[in-house]
Amino acid sequence: MIRYFLSVILSSFILFSLSSCVQNNYNTGSIPATNTKILRVGITPNAPPTAYKERGQVTGLEAEFARGLAQFAGREVRFVELKWIDQIPALLAGKTDIIMSSMTITDARLYRIAFCNPYMISGQVSLVRLTDMNRYRNGFTDLLNPTVKIGTVKGTTGDLFIEKNVATDRKQRFTGFETPEQGVKALLAQKIDAFVYDLPMNFYFAAQNEANGLAPVTTPMTREQIGWGVRKDDTVLQQTANAYLAAIKQDGRLKKMLIRWIPFFKNVFNR
């Protein structure tokens, strides 16, 4: 069933190479900025398949990008695990050098930081119970129904999108969770009707919970560029990251990395 949904999305929204991060409690300790041989990467690792922890190690698409960038730049990678709301403040305070955590490039963020070239186009989709799919298959417009209870992750682009465009009564219709796992559990427990989150992550959660009857709505509500954030005055790192991205795009590594971590990209590249 999940394979069906993964193929359907290609007719409605094309993802291509050029998924809003989340909150949790993490160690905010930093490495001194004086050590230029260290690349301090801000990451919020609870957004699989792009950034998460497995056996105590940071892994996912962004982690592979970070290790590749560090090697390209001749530096050693150090992950600084942060709450999502602390990512930009930590960068501006010099506690990290770059944010590599599936961050959407928005006008508001561009006022505070600079972004490297985007590496992916993504968007917000709903995760719903399969038995309710017919109610929500049209995407955004179906969430306008005042009886629909919506969940998001606090501080993400999905959270801001729903608060701005859909939820008129937050207490009754709109719940912002601390982590995506909480949103998925609430959906399974029928405490909410739709969980709005980044497309790659909601497809991941759908595949993980296929036996539990969850499925992604394949009509995206937004179109978002995903990129790495740096301080505006750190043009050297920005240029280095852009050069790394151009290199892996040219030699095909970017395509392979995207397909490895987000399998439905294979069909996109074969179109």
Q: Where are the alpha helices (DSSP H) in 77-128?
A: 87-92, 107-110
**Rounded Cα gap, residues 131 and 127, in angstroms:** 12
Tens-place pLDDT, residues 46-91: 889 999 999 999 999 999 999 999 999 999 999 999 988 899 999 9
| Fold match flag (2-11+123-216 vs 38-121+224-263) | yes
Residue 252: Cβ within 10 Å count: 10
Q: Are 19 and 199 contacting, i.e. CB atoms less than 8 angstroms apart?
A: yes
CA-wise closest residue to 13 among 198, 157, 152: 198
Strand 38-43 vs strand 76-81: parallel, antiparallel, or unpaired?
parallel
User: pLDDT by residue (tens digit) across 158-204?
Assistant: 998 998 888 666 666 888 898 889 999 999 999 999 999 998 899 99
Percent of the chain topping pLDDT 70: 82
Integer Cα distance of 48 and 62 in angstroms: 10
pLDDT for the residue numbered 262: 87
List pLDDT tens digits, range 122-165.
889 999 999 999 999 888 999 988 889 999 998 888 998 998 88
Q: What is the pLDDT of residue 171?
A: 61
Helix (H) or strand (E) holding 64: helix 61-73
Average pLDDT, the chain: 85
Q: Could you give the CA distance from residue 34 to residue 204 in angstroms, rounded to a whole number?
A: 39
Please state the φ and ψ torsions of residue 264, each to the nearest 5 degrees.
-70, -5
Q: At 77, phi and psi to the nearest 5?
A: -80, 140
Q: Which one is predicted more confidently, 187 or 271?
A: 187
Answer whether residue 110 shows pLDDT above 90: yes
Q: Give the contacts of 135 (CB within 8 A, at least 6 positions apart).
A: 128, 142, 193
User: How far are the Cα atoms of 20, 242, 243, 244, 253 from residue 249, in angstroms, in the given order?
Assistant: 23, 10, 10, 9, 6
* Integer Cα distance of 94 and 150 in angstroms: 36
Q: Which fold would CATH assign to domain 2-11+123-216? A: D-Maltodextrin-Binding Protein; domain 2 (3.40.190)
- Whether residue 153 contacts residue 159, with contact meaning beta carbons closer than 8 Å, is answered with yes
The predicted pLDDT at position 264 comes to 72
Structure tokens at 230: 């740096």
Q: Given this model, what pLDDT does residue 106 score?
A: 93
Select the more confidently predicted residue: 175 or 20: 175
Contact between 125 and 232 under an 8 Å Cβ cutoff? The reply is no
Say what the pLDDT of residue 99 is: 98
Architecture per CATH, domain 38-121+224-263, reads as 3-Layer(aba) Sandwich (3.40)
Amino acid, res. 30: S
Alpha carbon separation from 181 to 70, 132, 139, 186 (Å, rounded): 30, 20, 21, 9
The rounded distance, in Å, linking the Cα atoms of 90 and 30 is 9
Q: Break the chain into its structural domains and give their ranges.
A: 2-11+123-216, 38-121+224-263
